[in-house]
Amino acid sequence: MPILPKEPNVYPDCLFQSGVPADREDRRWWVLHTKPRQEKSLARQLHAGHVPFYLPLIPHTTYSRGRKLTSHLPLFAGYTFLYADQDERVTALGTNRITQTLEVKDQSRFWADVKQIEQLITSGAPITPHDKLGPGDAVIIRSGPLAGLEGTILRTATGNRFVVRIDFIQKGASVLIDDYHLDIPI
């Protein structure tokens, strides 16, 4: 079975190029907890219905019979982020792919977290998902392509991992990073 090309994972395409979308009173961010393995199907339906959403996808490479195959998997299994008014939220619920909608109370903080995750993905650095994050040393990246990102540092056997997290769902993603890029925020 052939591996399909990357599908749309954000609508509208300019969601991350515009200013802060969280300032619209008629739209709010919602976290959609999907049925198992339904994230991409939900994204396809939301995209077809012109409902704003974000599904963070990361490349996953495997080898089969000497061929390199790359698929795109959800960074946070079971979660899709919806930026919708009440009618669009009802449309999303009508897909029958959602088990629960979680209301995001702090819209601006959530938007900042989601933007950082997108920047981490678009940097091209290899990303590792993290579940159930706990407190760590807060840091900010001062140089390099990820300059300005704030997150947590985890020390592992392979080196320092910079973790960007979405506090609301207690999940995150990390990249290996050298100490000289990091600084403690003021």
pLDDT tens-digit series, residues 106-154: 999 999 999 999 999 999 999 988 776 555 667 788 778 888 888 887 7
pLDDT value for 70: 87
User: 99 and 47 in one domain?
Assistant: yes
Residue at which a domain ends, from 104, 129, 158: 104
User: 152 and 80 in one domain?
Assistant: no
User: 167 and 138 in one domain?
Assistant: yes
Structural domains in the chain (count): 2
Q: Does residue 166 contact residue 129 with C-beta atoms inside 8 Å?
A: no
pLDDT value for 69: 86
Low-confidence ranges of the chain (pLDDT < 70): 1-5, 18-24, 132-137, 179-186
CATH, residue 89: 3.30.70
pTM of this structure:
0.79
pLDDT value for 84: 94
Structural domain of residue 69, as residue ranges?
Answer: 1-104
User: 5 and 23 in one domain?
Assistant: yes
Residue at which a domain ends, from 104, 137, 169: 104
pLDDT value for 1: 47
Three-state DSSP string of the chain:
CCCCCCCCCEECCCCCCCCCHHHCCCCEEEEEEECCCCHHHHHHHHHHCCCCEECCEEEEEEEECCEEEEEEEECCCCEEEEEECHHHHHHHHCCCCEEEEEECCCHHHHHHHHHHHHHHHHCCCCCEEEECCCCCEEEEECCCCCCCCEEEEEEECCEEEEEEEEHHHCEEEEEECCHHHEECCC
User: 14 and 51 in one domain?
Assistant: yes
User: 166 and 92 in one domain?
Assistant: no
Residue at which a domain ends, from 104, 122, 144: 104
